[in-house]
Amino acid sequence: MPRDKMKTKGEVSDLKAKLAAVIKTGTLPQPKDGKGGSTGKGQSHAVPKDPQTVKRGLFKSILHYMTINVDMSGLFTQMIIASTPTNDIVLKKMLYLYICTYAQQKPDLTLLAVNTLTKDCGDSDPTVRGLALRSLCSLRVPNLIEYLLTPLKTALADRDAYVRRTAVLGVLKVFRLDANVVEELELEQKLKEMFANDSDSQVVANSLSVLQQIVKNPQDLITKPVVYSLLNRLKEFSEWSQCAVLEFVSNYRPEDGEETFDIMNVLEDRLQHSNSALVLATIKVFLHLTIAIPDIHQQVLERIRGPLFTMMHNKGPEISYTVASHLRLLVERAPMLFSQDYKQFYCRYNDSLHVKKVKLGMLTSVADESNAYDIVNELCEYATDPSETISRESIKAVGTIAMNLGQTADGLVERLLSFLDMQMDHVTAETYIVMADMMRCLPDQVEKCVDALASMRTVEVVNPEAREAIVWILGAHGDKLQEAPYILENMAMAFDEEEVRVQLAMLTAAAKLFFKRPPECHRLLTDVLEKGSESANQDVHDRSLFYFRLLKKDIQVAAQVLGSNPPTTATFAEELGSELKETLFKEFNSLSPLYSEPATNFIADDNEIEYEHDLYDLEAVEGNASGGENKGGAAYADTNLLDLSDDLSDATIATTTTTTTAASNGAPTPEATRLEADPMALLDMLDVEEPASGAGAGVEQGIRLNPSPFMDAGKFQQLWGSLGAQETFAVSSPNVRAKMPELSNQMKAVGILTMASGGQEPMYKFYQYAQLEDNSAVFLVELIANTTQGGGMLSVTCKSDAQHQSCLKSFASFFQSSLTAYVD
């Protein structure tokens, strides 16, 4: 037995012996000397005489071990016996905490404690009554629910407010155990009466919170009398309860403008409160009440600017960020209203990184023709900020402001390009990234950006995103830059060392530039297509094949697809859409503005039940199921889904030895003139040969899998028993045992997902599934791994319907090759 387990077992046994001694004699056992007798030294001080003090010390020790995750459930019976009878409130609290912790593990023994809890629910001390009721409702044992109903109903009418508060929350706990009980005992109606008539404000607040969670339609609670009653008693509530009440009131819709003003007048003083949560809750009420009255809504925005600015500047970093995130939402809705307050969004020396980022976003939103140059001057100062993140964000903000102003942005573009002279790696990289975006939005500024690019040493840029931007500029606007083909050719020499995103951009740029300057780019295109076709990355490999086949199929179509000018755009997909902004506005004073996402993206539905997949016992294999597909894992680069025997290596894209350069004065060469007159001559320049016989048939005969298939557990089990076509094979390898942990991840990388898996050494079983790319056929797989036979044996059964027998054979062959490549 491990030493730590022995130690834990010894501690539990020691505490059990001490509890038994306290139960029997009221004192701890006296320590013994080496001969079995009492030591006699310090005896009067070593063992306390007061039983209550002794029990407190023991209970504290037990709770201490509980907090460090030592299982103390074995002392359940002794704890209950040792604590009764007692009037010590401290002992009761510790006992109730212990019982609630282990009630679900020991439901039968918990019944022994129910009598004690029920008895204490009738104690003369309201503190004891409330504590006992709270503990009784927190047992979370459905079988014991009948024992708490009577004390709960009695407590709802208790004379003491503390007990009533606890009882109201107890109704919610009962509801989560059995909703039907709440309906049968009419507890919901009782809560509504307490909500309307109880004299204690906290009881009312608790009732509101519980009712919103248990009624079928919470909107029915929002009535004029209820809202007015809550507002009239608002100052009686705690700050937390006031926030809950205001959240409730924000959903109320007044009958007319006069009622709207009456409510806002009542809440006016809450805008000056020191609690930022209360101020934001009040602002939400104001905004939602006036949303249908535009002129009043604008006045509300003007009224709330001051409190928001004050909280953003005078609170701690956490509150400042929260307030700034909500303020950003309002600035984006009404930028003109905040345009004169742009200096409020300047970064301060003590602002946290996150607050600075939000402020930069707000500066971008409020910039217009009247203040843009002042804002850009301030942003230029941030470009040299010690924080690389802020430096990048400020450069991005300058570019965004220039794109928003459009035709009047000449001076701003020059300020942006001046960043290239700073000789700071991250500044230069971010400037290139922003330049690429700006050239898409402002075609009038293209020549200015291209000229700036010509004077820079682009090969020294290391950032992958910046290199991707440079490659895009060269491909889209290389006809305006004389050195473009040679810059790309120089970058292509290290094609295999580039990031995937840069490789993909280089393929597209080379193809685009080839149609604009064919004599200079034919060697470049040949090189990148050949290197791309040999790439282990699936995307790079596929794009190379696509461009090759497009060029081979129809050169004129390829020219239209690849050689066209890039479209001009005014917005980018990364920008928040109007629908999302409206959703965030509705969820004001929540986490949504902080995450810039609706609550449904990060808060699970209360009724959502996570389904755990079971291991399908289709044959006799024992083991524990691992719920669903395994997540994560690296892409399986060696397996090629489009391995159609149509590689560029087979097609022999030969590198031409002809070197043609443009004249120094930029005049077209005779060969270029011929190419423009005869588009088919472009393909001849690549020296592309016909694929070997049968090479193209693989496109139709190959297997193309859906990379993200979907199937639920019930459908899998149903299909397994009904599918008729079947293929089987076996793979042996001494590496099977070592490869088992990542098997699901590796198969997922090639489009084969794991429904369930389980087993114990030496037998494991996996159930997997895949679908054709067009979803016309589904394939189910049973894989049995035996790690004892010759080092390891994988037995595989693949199933599909009879009409896809040929596809099933291709799938089985593909599965076998993928599996073999992984385990060998």
pLDDT 10s digits, 487-516: 899 899 999 999 999 999 999 999 999 998
Q: Where are the beta strands (DSSP E) in 713-752?
A: 725-732
Note the pLDDT of residue 682.
53
Please, are residues 401 and 367 in contact by the beta-carbon 8 Å criterion? yes
721: in domain: yes
Q: Which of 234, 253, 272 is the last residue of a domain?
A: 253
555: in domain: no
Please, are residues 88 and 122 in contact by the beta-carbon 8 Å criterion? no
Mean pLDDT of 543-548: 92
For the purposes of burial, counting CB atoms within 10 Å of the CB of 580, is it exposed (0-12), middle (13-18) or buried (19 or more)?
middle
Please, are residues 762 and 809 in contact by the beta-carbon 8 Å criterion? no
- How far apart, in whole angstroms, are the C-alpha atoms of residue 555 and residue 533? 20
Q: In one letter, which amino acid is 346?
A: Y
Confidence of residue 731 (pLDDT cuts 50, 70, 90): confident
Helix (H, G, I), strand (E, B) or coil at 14: helix
Residue 409: phi and psi, rounded to 5, are -100, 15
pTM: 0.69
Assess whether pLDDT exceeds 70 at residue 290.
yes
As a whole number of Å, the CA-based R_g of the chain is 37
Note the pLDDT of residue 72.
86
Q: Taking the mean position of all CA atoms in its chain, how far away is CA 647?
A: 39
Note the pLDDT of residue 705.
86
Assess whether pLDDT exceeds 90 at residue 5.
no
- How far apart, in whole angstroms, are the C-alpha atoms of residue 293 and residue 286? 11
Confidence of residue 667 (pLDDT cuts 50, 70, 90): very low
Assess whether pLDDT exceeds 90 at residue 174.
yes
- How far apart, in whole angstroms, are the C-alpha atoms of residue 759 and residue 612? 17
- How far apart, in whole angstroms, are the C-alpha atoms of residue 597 and residue 618? 43
DSSP letter, residue 606:
T
Closest CA to 650 of 614, 695, 589: 695
Mean pLDDT of 637-653: 34
Assess whether pLDDT exceeds 50 at residue 735.
yes
Helix intervals (H) in 290-385: 294-314, 317-333, 335-338, 353-366, 372-382
- How far apart, in whole angstroms, are the C-alpha atoms of residue 49 and residue 211? 50
Assess whether pLDDT exceeds 90 at residue 757.
no
Cβ-proximal residues to 90 (8 Å cutoff; 6+ apart), any chain: 56
Helix (H, G, I), strand (E, B) or coil at 460: helix
Assess whether pLDDT exceeds 50 at residue 724.
yes
Note the pLDDT of residue 572.
67
- How far apart, in whole angstroms, are the C-alpha atoms of residue 545 and residue 541? 6
Note the pLDDT of residue 275.
93
- How far apart, in whole angstroms, are the C-alpha atoms of residue 176 and residue 140? 9
Assess whether pLDDT exceeds 80 at residue 356.
yes
Residue in the block written with tokens 């939005």: 441
* Half-sphere exposure at residue 51, Cβ-oriented, CA atoms within 13 angstroms: 15
652: in domain: no
Q: Which two tokens stand for residue 49?
A: 């005489």
552: in domain: no
Give the domain CATH number at 798.
3.30.310.10
* Tally of domains in the chain: 2
Please, are residues 426 and 464 in contact by the beta-carbon 8 Å criterion? no
Q: Which of 253, 288, 309 is the last residue of a domain?
A: 253
Note the pLDDT of residue 740.
80
Per-residue model confidence as pLDDT tens digits over 59-84: 888 999 888 888 888 888 888 888 77
Assess whether pLDDT exceeds 90 at residue 569.
no
Confidence of residue 399 (pLDDT cuts 50, 70, 90): very high
Note the pLDDT of residue 41.
46
Mean pLDDT of the chain: 81
Confidence of residue 573 (pLDDT cuts 50, 70, 90): low
Closest CA to 449 of 435, 459, 437, 460: 435
Per-residue model confidence as pLDDT tens digits over 223-251: 999 999 999 999 999 999 999 999 999 99
Per-residue model confidence as pLDDT tens digits over 90-122: 888 998 898 898 888 888 888 878 888 898 899
Closest CA to 101 of 70, 125, 123, 142: 70
Assess whether pLDDT exceeds 90 at residue 167.
yes
Confidence of residue 610 (pLDDT cuts 50, 70, 90): very low
Note the pLDDT of residue 465.
94
Please, are residues 750 and 705 in contact by the beta-carbon 8 Å criterion? yes
Give the domain CATH number at 36.
1.25.10.10
How far apart, in Å, are the Cα atoms of 494 and each of 464, 488, 490? 13, 10, 8
As a whole number of Å, the end-to-end CA separation of the chain is: 38
692: in domain: no
Q: Taking the mean position of all CA atoms in its chain, how far away is CA 137?
A: 34
Helix (H, G, I), strand (E, B) or coil at 649: helix
138: in domain: yes
Assess whether pLDDT exceeds 70 at residue 623.
no
Cross-strand bridge partners of residue 782: 767, 797
How far apart, in Å, are the Cα atoms of 649 and each of 511, 534, 638? 18, 8, 17
Mean pLDDT of 323-333: 95
Assess whether pLDDT exceeds 70 at residue 28.
no
Please, are residues 168 and 210 in contact by the beta-carbon 8 Å criterion? yes
Count of all residues that appear for the chain in the document: 824
Mean pLDDT of 284-300: 93
95: in domain: yes
- How far apart, in whole angstroms, are the C-alpha atoms of residue 208 and residue 201? 11
Q: Which of 171-175, 284-288, 475-479, 713-717 has the lowest mean pLDDT?
A: 713-717
Assess whether pLDDT exceeds 60 at residue 700.
no
Mean pLDDT of 639-658: 34
For the purposes of burial, counting CB atoms within 10 Å of the CB of 375, is it exposed (0-12), middle (13-18) or buried (19 or more)?
buried
Assess whether pLDDT exceeds 90 at residue 803.
no
Q: Which two tokens stand for residue 16?
A: 């059990």
Assess whether pLDDT exceeds 70 at residue 665.
no
Q: In one letter, which amino acid is 497?
A: E
The helix (run of H) or strand (run of E) holding residue 793 is strand 793-800
Assess whether pLDDT exceeds 80 at residue 607.
no
Mean pLDDT of 725-736: 86
Domain limits for position 34: 3-253
Assess whether pLDDT exceeds 70 at residue 748.
yes
- How far apart, in whole angstroms, are the C-alpha atoms of residue 395 and residue 389? 10
477: in domain: no
Cβ-proximal residues to 285 (8 Å cutoff; 6+ apart), any chain: 246, 249, 250, 263, 264, 267
- How many percent of the chain have pLDDT more than 90? 42
Q: Which of 253, 272, 300 is the last residue of a domain?
A: 253
The helix (run of H) or strand (run of E) holding residue 466 is helix 464-477
Note the pLDDT of residue 40.
46
Assess whether pLDDT exceeds 90 at residue 323.
yes
Note the pLDDT of residue 297.
93
Mean pLDDT of 729-740: 83
- How far apart, in whole angstroms, are the C-alpha atoms of residue 374 and residue 378? 6
Mean pLDDT of 780-798: 83
Cβ-proximal residues to 716 (8 Å cutoff; 6+ apart), any chain: 616, 755, 767, 769, 780
